[in-house]
Chain A
């Protein structure tokens, strides 16, 4: 593929292409089949590209060791994108952020001497040849794979990078490393500060834009949050005159954090108005490459999450964590279809004399279609009839934005002006059919053809003929537009979604409609009787309850564990798992121990809990360190030599955007009073992950096991969840068939519903929940076990569709 560009757009094999991309994380949506499902849904929603971060840390557990097998096989992911007909924007870092653990840098790298991650400390630039050497190693593994795919059209180096002094050698070196390894497509960087950073080091200048990053903010009230977006063309032109405006991350949702407001709140706050305004304003500013971040939500299974985020990375994305299409998907689809129908890749700003408070208006001349497009946005909290300079009126609902055609020439007529929006267009040489979204407040002005009121029922149509050519204007209500799909110059109606191969998905008995210019309308019934009970949740029967932390027991043999040489933090000990155990002997003359551990931890002496704490706290975007002292007495230290056990749960390393990725985790500080040297032995992972022998007498970590079956059927999409709605314990780790799929940690807001990732499901499944509870609730082990029998584990089906070819 030959990929060039000019100031308007990317040019692929000689043709202008408007890039409508969506971000997808293969590591958070694991497995080829899930990737394929999500890519096909993206394609059906009018996206023509997928943006893929390649996560170095996911593939490399030790220097020189790289795993691209099984679910880590990125070739299969790239192949699925190609088969779905999507271009790929490749973003292999080395740093990616993405709220992943350590921003995607391998854990082993963080502890390396002479390595300065990202060549900076704080905001100060510090070049590290050894860091560059390890990047070479990563690039040597990932770039040859990326290079195998000719649908890769853009390649990003680093991410959201800046230093105080902006030395260019790091970025220039990355650029050269990529070119030396044979990447020929344009290279870009994603500037988080929209300040033209690194524009001279790359081919195409790109930036990211997130006007809503504070869920407590009301973006509708603080409409000035779009100030940068409203002027973004100027930013692009001053950064790089000859490259097309590219928003490498354009907000289509937002992530929730520990103690955040919850994804429901964010989804409700953004509605479908936000993605509508973001995307249409970008178009009004001449943007011809955008990437909705995220388009597909994912799951922080395993140890994927950085410390900020919990298991769900649903991101309020158009395609949610379960693979279900949401309202913002339908809005994105409308805009994508519109772009697909008209190209929109070569436009110029055109002056209009207009000002009205809370109204944004912008005109662009379209060089390809020889017409104008008027963009109007209403930020008032009421319906507005806006008097336009061309003498026409546009009527907009609150917080709505429209793209209105001006002097748009069709085959059989010309639309002089319309504030009824265009959904999609089909055309051949002699005929076109323009599908419009019915709007009771809007009108279409046909040049020499009268005015058509926008208040119409589904499929109401008007035919215009001129010079032997024909235009049909067809109305769709918003509901029908959501269920209408543009595929290869055909329209398919009344389906929940349609895959690129023409398969239509429905969740109830439906009559699918088809329309193309040659054969006109046809219909097909789709019967899905067997789905009627799918939404009924099922309470699982608990089959086993076992205490599973023998490490806490006094007689536990830990002689084979690693001895701590110097520092106790997990990086220094080269232990990167979420759970790290520390054991040692302490004498009975100690009066106090003082420790700092990140993030959740418990201290046991002679098999009894003396402290259980969650020390995770963020203030003003910074981690708040906590040091805590435990007074000791002869009741606690009941033996001459006492056995101390500390279990620390690291909920993730810093993602590296505003903090340093190598901030220590695990046991960060340990001191005794009086001061004595202590020799710790360490080990990572919970015993159920390490070995099959984990029976224990102590009740602090308890495993609940249940089994359930799943019926796999051909041509059926389903997404299942586990609900822990009435769960009364504070912490739990969830395993599906041995794979860690979730963390339940009670805080002000708690995730209670977990996606049972299809890739890890089998016909017969084992679900294990390890509960880590505080001493006060587990005084009587027998009673505790008895209580646990009442734990309610509910399995349900989020959504199910039958596919009809």
Chain B
């Protein structure tokens, strides 16, 4: 487990960005920590619904990438100040009121990075 404190990781999540989609949900991430790379999306969990990398898309800088396209061999640059929308599809997952969200991604330097937040859609 890499030592990136939870409160710092939470800053990446744009509060209030959780949106209900027809068959899933989306959230917005903004890199306020420092320049770096994302080398994988392990999974996204919203309440009890788990989205595998194949069910996740990351839209940033006009590029749309499937979760399975992002890997150690093909990391994506995530610049300081850069935003991206993470779209989870294929399953309905949003509930009324507070939703629990877990996003687990990989960073080449920090290893596994887990973002745990709560938000209202």
The interface of chain A, by Cβ under 8 A from chain B, is 122-123, 162-166, 193-195, 211, 213-214, 222, 224-228, 231, 620-622, 657-659
Q: Which of B1-42 contact A (CB under 8 A)?
A: 1-8, 33-35, 37
B5 touches A166 (CB 8 A): yes
Q: Given A193-B33, A224-B80, 5 other A-B contacts at CB below 8 A?
A: A193-B5, A213-B109, A214-B108, A231-B80, A658-B111
A620 touches B4 (CB 8 A): no
Given A162, A228, A620, A657, which contacts B35 in the complex, CB threshold below 8 Å?
A228
Whether, in the assembled complex, B100 has its beta carbon less than 8 Å from a beta carbon of chain A, the answer is no
CA distance A162 to B2 in the complex (A): 11
The 10 closest A-B pairs by CB, nearest first: A227-B80, A621-B111, A227-B35, A164-B6, A162-B5, A658-B2, A228-B34, A224-B79, A620-B111, A122-B1
Specify which chain B residues have a CB less than 8 angstroms from the CB of A123 in the assembled complex: 1, 3-6
Specify which chain B residues have a CB less than 8 angstroms from the CB of A622 in the assembled complex: 1, 111
A620 touches B77 (CB 8 A): no
CA distance A163 to B80 in the complex (A): 22
CA distance A681 to B35 in the complex (A): 51
B7 touches A193 (CB 8 A): no
- Interface range for B: 20 to 34
A193 touches B8 (CB 8 A): yes
Specify which chain A residues have a CB less than 8 angstroms from the CB of B35 in the assembled complex: 211, 224-228
Beyond A214-B109, A227-B80, A228-B80, is A195–B33 a contact (Cβ under 8 Å)? yes
B8 touches A162 (CB 8 A): yes
A227 touches B34 (CB 8 A): yes
Whether, in the assembled complex, B106 has its beta carbon less than 8 Å from a beta carbon of chain A, the answer is yes
Specify which chain A residues have a CB less than 8 angstroms from the CB of B79 in the assembled complex: 224, 227
The interface of chain B, by Cβ under 8 A from chain A, is 1-8, 33-35, 37, 77, 79-81, 106, 108-112
Q: What are 26 A-B interface contacts by the 8 Å CB criterion?
A: A122-B1, A123-B4, A123-B6, A166-B7, A193-B4, A193-B33, A195-B8, A195-B33, A214-B108, A214-B109, A224-B35, A224-B79, A227-B35, A227-B79, A227-B80, A227-B81, A228-B34, A228-B35, A228-B80, A620-B106, A621-B109, A658-B1, A658-B2, A658-B3, A658-B110, A658-B111
Q: How far is the CB of A658 from chain B (nearest CB, A)?
A: 5
CA distance A211 to B77 in the complex (A): 13
Beyond A195-B33, A231-B80, is A621–B2 a contact (Cβ under 8 Å)? yes
CA distance A226 to B1 in the complex (A): 26
Q: How far is the CB of B6 from chain A (nearest CB, A)?
A: 4
Beyond A224-B35, A227-B80, A620-B106, is A165–B1 a contact (Cβ under 8 Å)? no
Beyond A222-B77, A620-B106, A622-B111, is A657–B7 a contact (Cβ under 8 Å)? no
B7 touches A165 (CB 8 A): yes
CA distance A65 to B106 in the complex (A): 43
CA distance A621 to B108 in the complex (A): 8
Q: How far is the CB of A346 from chain B (nearest CB, A)?
A: 28
CA distance A224 to B36 in the complex (A): 9
Given B34, B37, B81, B112, which contacts A620 in the complex, CB threshold below 8 Å?
B112
Q: How far is the CB of A189 from chain B (nearest CB, A)?
A: 14
CA distance A342 to B40 in the complex (A): 48
Specify which chain A residues have a CB less than 8 angstroms from the CB of B34 in the assembled complex: 193-194, 227-228
Specify which chain A residues have a CB less than 8 angstroms from the CB of B77 in the assembled complex: 222, 224
Q: Which of B1, B3, B7, B81 has the most A CB atoms < 10 Å from its CB?
A: B3
Q: Which of B81, B106, B108, B110 has the most A CB atoms < 10 Å from its CB?
A: B108
CA distance A165 to B109 in the complex (A): 22
Q: How far is the CB of B76 from chain A (nearest CB, A)?
A: 11
Q: Which of A165, A166, A211, A227 has the most B CB atoms < 10 Å from its CB?
A: A227
CA distance A122 to B4 in the complex (A): 10
Specify which chain B residues have a CB less than 8 angstroms from the CB of A657 in the assembled complex: 3
Q: Which of B5, B37, B79, B80 has the most A CB atoms < 10 Å from its CB?
A: B5
CA distance A355 to B31 in the complex (A): 23
Q: Which of B6, B33, B106 has the most A CB atoms < 10 Å from its CB?
A: B6
Specify which chain A residues have a CB less than 8 angstroms from the CB of B8 in the assembled complex: 162, 193, 195
CA distance A166 to B3 in the complex (A): 12
CA distance A226 to B77 in the complex (A): 13
CA distance A718 to B111 in the complex (A): 42
- Tell me the nearest residue of chain B to A222, going by C-beta: B77
Q: How far is the CB of B15 from chain A (nearest CB, A)?
A: 18
- Tell me the nearest residue of chain B to A216, going by C-beta: B108
Specify which chain A residues have a CB less than 8 angstroms from the CB of B81 in the assembled complex: 227
Specify which chain A residues have a CB less than 8 angstroms from the CB of B3 in the assembled complex: 122-123, 162, 657-658
A621 touches B110 (CB 8 A): yes
Specify which chain A residues have a CB less than 8 angstroms from the CB of B4 in the assembled complex: 123, 162, 193
Specify which chain A residues have a CB less than 8 angstroms from the CB of B37 in the assembled complex: 214
CA distance A467 to B79 in the complex (A): 53
- Tell me the nearest residue of chain B to A192, going by C-beta: B3
Q: How far is the CB of B8 from chain A (nearest CB, A)?
A: 6
Q: How far is the CB of A199 from chain B (nearest CB, A)?
A: 14
Specify which chain B residues have a CB less than 8 angstroms from the CB of A193 in the assembled complex: 4-5, 8, 33-34
B5 touches A163 (CB 8 A): yes
Specify which chain B residues have a CB less than 8 angstroms from the CB of A194 in the assembled complex: 34
- Tell me the nearest residue of chain A to B35, going by C-beta: A227
- Tell me the nearest residue of chain B to A231, going by C-beta: B80
Q: How far is the CB of B80 from chain A (nearest CB, A)?
A: 4
- Tell me the nearest residue of chain B to A194, going by C-beta: B34
Q: Which of A214, A222, A621, A622 has the most B CB atoms < 10 Å from its CB?
A: A621
CA distance A228 to B108 in the complex (A): 17
Q: How far is the CB of B4 from chain A (nearest CB, A)?
A: 7
Specify which chain A residues have a CB less than 8 angstroms from the CB of B5 in the assembled complex: 123, 162-164, 166, 193
- Tell me the nearest residue of chain A to B40, going by C-beta: A620
CA distance A227 to B78 in the complex (A): 11
Specify which chain B residues have a CB less than 8 angstroms from the CB of A225 in the assembled complex: 35
CA distance A621 to B109 in the complex (A): 7
Specify which chain A residues have a CB less than 8 angstroms from the CB of B111 in the assembled complex: 620-622, 658
CA distance A224 to B35 in the complex (A): 7
CA distance A214 to B111 in the complex (A): 13
CA distance A622 to B106 in the complex (A): 12
Specify which chain B residues have a CB less than 8 angstroms from the CB of A214 in the assembled complex: 37, 108-109
Specify which chain B residues have a CB less than 8 angstroms from the CB of A211 in the assembled complex: 35
Q: How far is the CB of A268 from chain B (nearest CB, A)?
A: 20
Specify which chain B residues have a CB less than 8 angstroms from the CB of A226 in the assembled complex: 35
- Tell me the nearest residue of chain B to A225, going by C-beta: B35
Q: How far is the CB of A168 from chain B (nearest CB, A)?
A: 13
- Tell me the nearest residue of chain B to A118, going by C-beta: B3
Q: How far is the CB of A147 from chain B (nearest CB, A)?
A: 31
CA distance A657 to B6 in the complex (A): 15
Q: How far is the CB of A281 from chain B (nearest CB, A)?
A: 13
CA distance A81 to B8 in the complex (A): 38
CA distance A381 to B33 in the complex (A): 28
CA distance A714 to B35 in the complex (A): 50
Q: How far is the CB of B5 from chain A (nearest CB, A)?
A: 4
Q: How far is the CB of A194 from chain B (nearest CB, A)?
A: 6
Q: How far is the CB of B39 from chain A (nearest CB, A)?
A: 9
Specify which chain B residues have a CB less than 8 angstroms from the CB of A166 in the assembled complex: 5, 7
Q: How far is the CB of B1 from chain A (nearest CB, A)?
A: 5
- Tell me the nearest residue of chain B to A214, going by C-beta: B108
- Tell me the nearest residue of chain A to B11, going by C-beta: A195
CA distance A373 to B1 in the complex (A): 44
Specify which chain B residues have a CB less than 8 angstroms from the CB of A162 in the assembled complex: 3-5, 8
Specify which chain B residues have a CB less than 8 angstroms from the CB of A195 in the assembled complex: 8, 33
Q: How far is the CB of A103 from chain B (nearest CB, A)?
A: 12
Specify which chain B residues have a CB less than 8 angstroms from the CB of A165 in the assembled complex: 7
- Tell me the nearest residue of chain A to B1, going by C-beta: A122
CA distance A224 to B37 in the complex (A): 11
Q: How far is the CB of A518 from chain B (nearest CB, A)?
A: 50
Q: How far is the CB of B75 from chain A (nearest CB, A)?
A: 9
Q: How far is the CB of A314 from chain B (nearest CB, A)?
A: 21
CA distance A657 to B109 in the complex (A): 11
Q: How far is the CB of A466 from chain B (nearest CB, A)?
A: 47
CA distance A225 to B79 in the complex (A): 8
Specify which chain B residues have a CB less than 8 angstroms from the CB of A164 in the assembled complex: 5-7
